[in-house]
Amino acid sequence: MAPALVWLTALMVVPCALVLALAFFRRGIYGGIEYTFTLENFGLVFDPLYAGIFLKSARIAGTATLIAVLIGYAAAYAISAAPRRLQPVFLFFAVLPFWSNYLIRTYAWIVLLNREGLITQLLRWFGYTGEPPSMLYTEGAVIAGLVYSYLPFVILACYAPLSRLNPELAEASRDLGASAMTTFRRVILPLTVPGIAAGAVFVFVLSIGNFVTPALLGGGRFQMIGNLVYDQFLTANDWPFGAALAMALIAIMLLVLMAQALAADRASGRAAEAKGNADG
């Protein structure tokens, strides 16, 4: 316990406290920091310009989360329905991209999406002769990059409850007169929601703070909060405002995580209460 606490303090609490402290100071005239207390930086976060970037980031992260959950759940479902001994193989391939560098995986999308990229060439091969579609440096490209990067998390998170599901539950539902669709909606889906929630929170939290994917696939002028924070620290040299933005971002992530933890706690709390009743 004690060594963990030391590490946590040294590597998490102290740096976060430093960034938080920074946010309450003024920016120096020539960059740097002027050590006088102010709340201006936090006020600026709510400026429509910056609040708009927060909203856009949340929208992109939300869209990426939705798509990743749809694809990831379907993939996890297919894997859990495969023969038992093939499942680890499929899981291995699903997670395989994860073992390569994040930057390289994101660059690969540039090769796919650019005007003379693989997709354009494929279209030409099928006889398309018009203007090459502009896919790179769009919001769609950013979303595709985020979905691709975080999909393995969703697959793993959804696979866990799906593989533990007793197949006789689906058979019982069919036996009682339910169609395959109703069985999915009323039995399989409700029992695997915890996996979906865990995967979704993961994708959302990682996406909303991401700055590499928007920088590479969204083009230089495409901004999400991550890029904004990056710019304040490294280009604009406004560390206090960058710190305030970072704190706002951390607050959003914490809210999402807390909401999920609360929901999970309530679910397990109900279970614990249930156990208590059975014993009593």
Partner 1 sequence: MSEPRTLLAIDHVSKNFGRVTAVDGISLDIRENEFFALLGPSGCGKTTLLRMLAGFETPSDGRILLDGRDIARTPPNKRPVNLMFQSYALFPHMSVRANVSYGLEMERLPAAEIRSRVDAILATTELVPFADRKPEQLSGGQKQRVALARALVKRPRLLLLDEPLGALDKKLRGAMQLELKRLQHEVGITFVIVTHDQEESLVMADRMAVLRDGKLLQCDTPHTVYEHPADRFVADFIGVMNFVPGKVATDGVMASNGARIAGKVPAALPPGASAVASVRPERIRLFPEIQTANRTTGTVEALAYHGLDLQLHVRTPLSPKPFLVRVTADAADRRPVSSGDQVELGWDAADVRIFAE
Return the number of the residue (100 or 179) whose C-beta is nearest partner 1.
179
Neighbours of 58 (CB within 10 A): 17
Strands 33-34 and 26-27: antiparallel
Shortest reach from residue 83's CB to partner 1, in Å: 13
Among positions 36, 166, 220, 221, the unique one binding partner 1 when judged by CB under 8 A: 166
Q: SS3 of 114, please?
A: coil
Q: Is residue 83 involved in binding partner 1 (CB under 8 A)?
A: no
Instruction: Count the site residues for partner 1 by CB under 8 A.
Output: 22
Q: SS3 of 280, please?
A: coil
Indicate left, alpha or beta for 22 from its phi (over 0: left) and psi (-120 to 50: alpha): alpha
What CA–CA distance (Å, rounded) separates 138 from 141? 5
Q: Is residue 274 involved in binding partner 1 (CB under 8 A)?
A: yes
Q: Per CB under 8 A, which region of 32-40, 86-94, 109-117, 268-276 contacts partner 1?
A: 268-276
Sites for partner 1 among residues 174-233 (CB under 8 A): 174-179, 182, 186-187, 190-191
Q: Is residue 278 involved in binding partner 1 (CB under 8 A)?
A: yes
Return the number of the residue (52 or 190) whose C-beta is nearest partner 1.
190
What CA–CA distance (Å, rounded) separates 215 from 227? 7
Closest Cα partner for 61 from 255, 253, 258, 254?
253
Shortest reach from residue 161's CB to partner 1, in Å: 12
What CA–CA distance (Å, rounded) separates 137 from 247? 28
Shortest reach from residue 84's CB to partner 1, in Å: 16
Cβ proximity of 260 and 197 under 8 Å: yes
What CA–CA distance (Å, rounded) separates 64 from 47? 26
Q: Is residue 172 involved in binding partner 1 (CB under 8 A)?
A: yes
Return the number of the residue (115 or 185) whose C-beta is nearest partner 1.
185
Shortest reach from residue 186's CB to partner 1, in Å: 8
Enumerate binding residues for partner 1 (CB under 8 A): 166, 168-169, 171-179, 182, 186-187, 190-191, 271, 274-275, 277-278
